[in-house]
Amino acid sequence: MNFFFETIDRWSYKILEVFKRFPLAMFSSFMVTILLCIVLEVEEVVNAEFILIANKLIVVLSLGIFLFPALHLLSKKLWFKLVGVGLLSLYYYYLPLNVLNSTTITHHLLLIFALCFMFLWAPFMDIKISNQNIWEWTQIIVQNLLVSLVLSMVFFILFYITMYALEELFAISLAQRHYIQVALFLLGVFAVSSFFAKMPKYIMLVQKNKYEGIGLVFTKYILTPSFFIYFFLLFSYVAKVVLEKSWGEVNIDLLALGYTFIAIGTYMHWTPLWDDANKKFRALIWGSLFLLSITLGLSIYVRSLATSLDDYYLISLFTLWLGLISLYFLLIKKASYKWLFFSISLLIVISQSEQLMDVSLELYEKAVAFL
C-alpha cells in the first residue's frame, strides 16, 4: 500500500513540476483534449455554430501547445508568454470560422512544423555552444517525443485489450467514440506531459557523447553508403538531363528534396565523428547541395517560361534557401546548427505569407520582362 501511495505522490509531483514549468502549454493541451472529447460527445445534438467555434478554438489552442514551450525555451521572461497569448489571439481573429478545410489545415500543420524546429534553435540564440551540444539536444528532443508517443500507444493497446476481454467475458462494452476519447486523453494529456517532463531544464548541462554500437554502425555503414548511392544516382540523372537538353520535360523537385534530407541528415549524424581527415567529405556534402540548388534554379527557370512562376513558388523558395544555407556551411568555418534550424523555421513561415508571395512574383515578372 505504501508503494501505491508513494507512486501517486511521485507522479503528482512530476505533473505539478511540468505545470509549473510549462503552464500555458499544458493548459492549451488540456483544453484541446476536453474540447475534442466534448465535440465527439455532443456533435449530433448541438447546433452547427457551436461546433464551428469549438473547432476553431481547438485549432488555435493546438498551436499554443507548441508555441508556448518554444517561447519559453527562447526566454523565460513573462512578456514572452504575453506575446504568445497575443499571437494566439491574432491567430484566432484571422482564422476563418470554418477551419476544417484543406488550405487552413495545411497552413496550420506547417506552422506547427516550424515551431517544432524552433525547439531545436530557441535555447541557443543568446549563447555560444558547439554543434555537438546542439546535436545532443536535438537527439534528446526527438527521442523524448518518440518515447512519449510509443508509451501512449502502448497504454491505449492495453486499454483496448482490457475492454475487449471485458466485452467477451462479461458483455461490458463501450461506444466507439469513447475509445477515441481515451486515445485523445492519452495523446493530449499523458504524451504531452511526458514529453515536457523529459525535456532537460539546463541546456548547458547536456553532455557531449560519442557514438557507441548501433549509432556508429548506422552512421558509417548504413546512412553514409545511402548518401553516396543517392548522390551518384541523382547527379547521373542530372547529367543525363543536361546532355539530352530536356529541362522542360522532367521534374527533379522530389528527388532534390529527398537528397537534401539524406545529405543534411548524414552531415548531422557525423557530428561526433568529425575531424580534420573528414574535411573533403564535409565539402562534398555542402558542395553537392549548392550545385543542386543551381541545378534546381535552372530547372525552375526553364519550366516557368512555359507557364508561370506561380506554380513553382514554393520550390523556388526552397531552392533559394538551399543555396544560401549551403554557402553558409561552405564558407563559414564554425557554421552553427542553430542557424540551420532557424532558417528552416523561417523558410516555413515565409512560405505561408501570401503577401510576400505576391511581391516575389511581381519582382520576378519584372525581372523576366527586363531581361
Kindly list the domain boundaries of the chain, sorted by start residue. Answer: 2-205, 214-370
Q: Look at the block and give the residue holding cell 525581372.
A: 367
Cα(345)–Cα(351) distance, rounded to whole angstroms? 10
Answer whether 0.85 is exceeded by the pTM.
yes
Spatial contact of 353 and 316, defined as CB atoms under 8 Å apart: no
Instruction: Encode 204-228: b = buried (16+ Cβ within 10 Å), e = exposed.
Output: eebeeeebeeeeeeebeeebbeebe
Q: Which residues contact 8 (CB under 8 A, 6 or more apart)?
A: none
Residue 317's CB is within 10 A of a number of other CB atoms, namely: 17
How do the pLDDT tens digits run along the chain, 371 residues long? 565 556 666 667 777 888 889 999 999 999 999 999 999 988 777 788 889 999 999 999 999 999 999 999 998 888 999 999 999 999 999 899 999 888 889 889 999 999 999 999 999 988 888 899 899 999 999 999 999 999 999 999 999 999 999 988 888 888 889 999 999 999 999 999 999 998 988 776 666 667 777 888 899 999 999 999 999 999 999 998 888 877 777 788 899 999 999 999 999 999 988 887 788 999 999 999 999 999 999 988 888 877 777 778 888 999 999 999 999 999 998 899 999 999 999 999 988 875 555 555 555 565 556 55
Cα(234)–Cα(211) distance, rounded to whole angstroms? 29
C-alpha cell at 365: 515578372
